[in-house]
Amino acid sequence: MGNPMKNLGTPKNIFLESIRDCLGKVEGPPLEQRENLSQSPDELKQLCAELRVTLDKELDVLLSDLSVSAEARGWNVHRPANVEAVLDHISDIAKIWGVTDISRSDQQVFTEYAIDSGISNLGYNITTIAHNDFPDDRTRLRNAIISSGIGITGADYAVAETGSIVILPRKGLSRLVSVVPAVHIALVRKQDILRNLDDVFLLRRLDYHLGNDMGSYLNFITGPSRTADIEQTIVIGVHGPKEVHMLLLD
Amino acid sequence: MADIKTKSFVTASKSSIKDPQLRQALEKVGTGFDGARREAIEEISEEKWEEWRLKAREIKEHTIDNLDYYLDMLYTNVTNAGGYVHFAHDDNEANAIVSQLVEENNVKIATKSKSMVSEELGLNHVLEKLGVEVYETDLGEYIIQLAEETPSHLVAPALHKTKEQVASLFQEKLGIPYDEDIESMARTAREVLRDKFLKADLGISGANFLVAETGSLVIITNEGNGRLCTSAPRIHIGITGMEKVIPSLEDLSTFLRLLPRSATGQRLTSYVSIVTGPRRITDEDGPEQFHLIIVDNGRSKMLADPKLREALYCIRCGACLNICPVYQKVGGHAYGWVYPGPIGSIVTPNLTVLQNAKDLPFASSLCGACREACPVKINIPRMLLNLREQLVQPSDGSKSTSTFSENIAAKSYTSLMKHPSMVKLGNIMLKGLQKPFVRDGVVSSVPIPPLSIWTRSRDLPKLPDKTFHQIWENNLKDNQDTNG
């Protein structure tokens, strides 16, 4: 980076003043504040605690709702009974696609379910995006991901309403693993299933208002990559994965 | 600024209607996009849909009424996340900001995710002049970039092209064998652009929403190009209109429910990316710089006019285009600038020059379908009428666009309708006059203008034997007879 960065264009005060002129108002907060912006962290904590209770109660319903909803959005949903079944799914998918190279993130879910060592013993060329493995070596990291036929990641949440998974930045998680390889496999823990979009944003808002970083991204992934840009005909797999698998872990 | 061809709406729509390939492409809009939208609404129920629309409208009203406050909040939170916010009063200023960032950072290759505002600015030409290789990466945008055309739809920019046309284009521009299989054309785009994503220094995106509470930029895509553009290059520039801000992350769920359903009938698009600042030190990858350029470029004209303010509630879903009987016939290019269809007929004249776009507010039958389809309940027909009024009776002292004969006709009609006896007399006369022209119950050709213009492509129903007055009087008499 050469020059120190600064704000360019019209200074903020001048820009905002011209907006106030258009609106015929003076500087200041809205006469009526939006309710959601006046919530205190304690209120949000309370709401999240209530949400947790609801989610625990509805867990079985949520599992089946998510399966149905995700299948409808183009996910292949599996509910492996144990670690062996998880590994079987991964090698089945690799066989079908004739894949030799797989990249995976280094999220907690891999160690928690003891999937990490099993994956390494499957006989594929596995690249793990472990933190500090590639300090500032973008090219090596990228090339490994680009040459992978399959990318495997965890998920922070899954959303029953939309059939989505949600991914937040984590150490050991590249943004590219879930978008560059032709196949993406997402490992979803049952306790991370939420009902709907409101639940996701409530949890993120609590975290944010407790003073934590929002994180550089929050990605919803809902099925495979698709387009209908030529003659409104749907084609699966443009720039992102052609096939996506959701492994629901009990 | 992108080329403005709004003056030629009439001639452009005439040639559109004569283009059989375009007609074929447009015929699918009603069944395809709009059909999918209706199914999506049915799935969650009309009541629920109405509830969401009201909520979205309320949020938009509140935010636009307090736009300065929320832009300030957004600014603070983007800055806290390590990003930069730049305000641009017009297209030149916005282009200058991008140019400066490009030069300071020695950018050679840029990939772009879909941004209608960058179309407004004519940004690609500016970048090319600076020697930057620019690649549109949304498949539709890529196609029109290769064809050196402009988007014809808000959501599906290459909607006007048939698969044969795209195949010939790829053959000519990419030097590959002709192949009209849609799947292999999408694969070609994947292969060509994959390399560009990874080589690019700069990723440019638009924004579907900006969240003031968290300082986030939200992009909604299906292809995955948006994620690649904002993940792979070392710099990310988001460019968007100042009206895109919403207060809270909580408010976003309402819009995420409305936008994909209204655009393509999807419950959610394949990807929703909520970007907050550049990569953090603990992230494995992502852009080192994040810049957000917030553009006015004529929007304050609508903001300052309470009658037109609600045009700024638009979330660019394209539902009003898909349902519009005029858009379905003439297509997007006829509208002559970046934003086509009913909402475009309001936005375009305001972001360009109303007097040069005088046909657009009239390019509507005022049937109201657009208002019904709009997820934020924008009263498009009312605003079209307001613009017509501005054209005919300008309040700013500019010349009225109505012609001498239109004025005479309007005045005669007004005085005629004030005198029932004259209406009766006129009726008798016209009934006599129409006799030589009536064939099979319709008047299909009158050689005298202005009627000759009307009858050139349409039939006039013949005047009925009994006028409404006569029927009314007779019925009244009958009723009195039976009652008495």
pLDDT of residue B456: 82
A172 with B100: Cβ contact below 8 A: no
Rg (CA), chain B: 26
Yes or no: say if B406 and B396 are a contact pair by the CB < 8 Å rule: no
CA distances from B311 to A68, B365, B473 (A): 38, 19, 46
d(CA B96, CA B105): 14
Task: Round to the nearest angstrom and report the end-to-end CA distance of chain B.
Answer: 74
Q: Which residues of A touch B25 (CB under 8 A)?
A: 231
Q: What is the pLDDT of residues B36-65, one digit of tens each?
A: 999 999 999 999 999 999 999 999 999 999
Q: For residue B203, what are the domain limits?
A: 51-300
In a shared domain, residues B55 and B193: yes
B68 with A176: Cβ contact below 8 A: no
Side chain identity at B239, as an amino acid letter?
I
Q: Which residues of A touch B94 (CB under 8 A)?
A: 9
Provide the number of structural domains found in chain B.
2
> H or E stretch including A76?
strand A75-78
Yes or no: say if A111 and A104 are a contact pair by the CB < 8 Å rule: no
Residue recorded with tokens 């190009």 = B225
In 3D space, the residue among B378, B380, B369, B312 whose CA is nearest the CA of residue B345 turns out to be B380
B273 with A218: Cβ contact below 8 A: yes
d(CA B208, CA B115): 9
B158 with A162: Cβ contact below 8 A: no
Q: Torsion angle, CA of B112/B113/B118/B124, rounded to 10 degrees? A: 20
B320 — contact with chain A (CB < 8 Å)? no
Task: Please state the rounded mean pLDDT for residues B362-367.
Answer: 95
B275 — contact with chain A (CB < 8 Å)? yes
Rg (CA), chain A: 22
Residues 213-242 of B with CB under 8 A from A: 213-216, 222-225, 227-228, 230-232, 242
By Cβ distance, the residue of B227, B285, B304 closest to A141 is B285
At B378, the pLDDT band (50, 70, 90 cuts) reads: very high
pLDDT of residue A133: 58
Q: What are phi and psi of A130, to 5 degrees?
A: -75, 140
Q: Is the pLDDT of residue B212 over 80?
A: yes
Structural domain includes residue B136? yes
Q: Which residues of A touch B242 (CB under 8 A)?
A: 19
Task: Please state the rounded mean pLDDT for residues A125-144.
Answer: 76
Q: Torsion angle, CA of A206/A207/A210/A211, rounded to 10 degrees? A: -140
Q: Which residues of B touch A234 (CB under 8 A)?
A: none
Task: Please state the rounded mean pLDDT for residues B268-283.
Answer: 96
Q: What is the CATH number of the domain that holds B200?
A: 3.40.50.10420
More confident call, B93 vs A141: B93
A231 — contact with chain B (CB < 8 Å)? yes
In a shared domain, residues B281 and B414: no
pLDDT of residue A6: 86
Q: Give the residue from B74, B198, B268, B300 with the most A CB atoms within 10 Å of its CB, the best one to mutate.
A: B268
Residue recorded with tokens 């929320």 = B70
Q: Is the pLDDT of residue B427 over 90?
A: no
Q: Percent of chain B, pLDDT > 70?
A: 99
- Which range has the worst mean pLDDT, B121-130, B226-235, B371-380, B389-398? B389-398
In a shared domain, residues B76 and B216: yes
Q: How many CB pairs under 8 A join A and B?
A: 280
By Cβ distance, the residue of A16, A37, A216 closest to B247 is A37
Q: Give the residue from A222, A225, A230 with the most B CB atoms within 10 Å of its CB, the best one to mutate.
A: A230
Six-digit token pair at B375? 């997820």
pLDDT of residue B468: 85
Q: Which residues of A touch B267 (CB under 8 A)?
A: 69, 73, 161-163, 222
d(CA B309, CA B403): 29
B293 with A220: Cβ contact below 8 A: no
Tell me which of B272, B300, B328 is where a domain ends.
Answer: B300
Q: Which residue of A has its CA nearest to B32?
A: A232
Six-digit token pair at A111? 């160690």
Q: What are phi and psi of A117, to 5 degrees?
A: -70, -40
Burial of B471: CB neighbours in 10 Å, binned 0-12, 13-18, 19+: exposed
Q: Is the pLDDT of residue B484 over 60?
A: no
In a shared domain, residues B293 and B416: no
- Which range has the worst mean pLDDT, A1-5, B281-285, B379-383? A1-5
Q: Which CATH class is domain A40-249?
A: alpha beta
pLDDT of residue A132: 62
d(CA A35, CA B213): 13
A222 with B270: Cβ contact below 8 A: yes
In 3D space, the residue among A183, A179, A100 whose CA is nearest the CA of residue B194 turns out to be A179
Yes or no: say if A232 and B33 are a contact pair by the CB < 8 Å rule: yes
By Cβ distance, the residue of B105, B223, B250 closest to A239 is B223
Q: How far is A234 from chain B (nearest CA, A)?
A: 9
Tell me which of B271, B300, B329 is where a domain ends.
Answer: B300
A140 — contact with chain B (CB < 8 Å)? no
Q: What is the DSSP string of B273-288?
A: EEE-SS--TT-SS--S
> H or E stretch including B140?
helix B139-146
Q: Which residues of A touch B193 (CB under 8 A)?
A: 239
At A2, the pLDDT band (50, 70, 90 cuts) reads: very low
In a shared domain, residues B287 and B424: no
pLDDT of residue B460: 84
A30 with B65: Cβ contact below 8 A: yes
A239 with B104: Cβ contact below 8 A: no
pLDDT of residue A88: 96
The pLDDT mean for chain B works out to 94
Structural domain includes residue B7? no
Q: Is the pLDDT of residue B254 over 50?
A: yes
Task: Please state the rounded mean pLDDT for residues A140-150.
Answer: 90
User: Between B46-65 and B35-44, two packed helices, what is the crossing angle to 10 degrees?
Assistant: 100
Q: How far is B401 from chain A (nearest CA, A)?
A: 27
Yes or no: say if B249 and A201 are a contact pair by the CB < 8 Å rule: yes
CA distances from B100 to B94, B127, B180 (A): 10, 11, 41
Residues 14-43 of A with CB under 8 A from B: 15-23, 25, 27-30, 32, 34, 36-37
Q: How far is B139 from chain A (nearest CA, A)?
A: 6
Structural domain includes residue B438? yes
Q: Is the pLDDT of residue A215 over 90?
A: yes
Q: How far is A62 from chain B (nearest CA, A)?
A: 17
Task: Please state the rounded mean pLDDT for residues A195-204.
Answer: 98
B158 — contact with chain A (CB < 8 Å)? yes
Structural domain includes residue B12? no
Q: Is the pLDDT of residue A3 over 50?
A: no
Six-digit token pair at A85? 């079944």
Structural domain includes residue B413? yes
Q: Which residues of B touch A5 (CB under 8 A)?
A: 84, 289
B304 with A21: Cβ contact below 8 A: yes
In 3D space, the residue among B45, B117, B49, B21 whose CA is nearest the CA of residue B319 turns out to be B49
B32 — contact with chain A (CB < 8 Å)? yes
Tell me which of B283, B300, B317 is where a domain ends.
Answer: B300
Yes or no: say if B266 and B260 are a contact pair by the CB < 8 Å rule: yes
A204 — contact with chain B (CB < 8 Å)? yes
At B443, the pLDDT band (50, 70, 90 cuts) reads: confident
Q: What are phi and psi of B368, to 5 degrees?
A: 90, 0
Residues 6 or more apart in contact with residue B241 via CB below 8 angstroms: B117, B294, B295, B296, B297, B299
pLDDT of residue B478: 77
Q: Is the pLDDT of residue A76 over 90?
A: yes
d(CA A57, CA A67): 18
Yes or no: say if A85 and A225 are a contact pair by the CB < 8 Å rule: no
More confident call, A141 vs B176: B176
At B448, the pLDDT band (50, 70, 90 cuts) reads: confident
Q: What is the pLDDT of residues B111-154, one digit of tens each?
A: 999 999 999 999 999 999 999 999 999 999 999 999 999 999 99
Structural domain includes residue B314? no
Q: Is the pLDDT of residue B265 over 60?
A: yes
Burial of B287: CB neighbours in 10 Å, binned 0-12, 13-18, 19+: buried
Task: Please state the rounded mean pLDDT for residues A1-16.
Answer: 81
Helix (H, G, I), strand (E, B) or coil at A209: helix
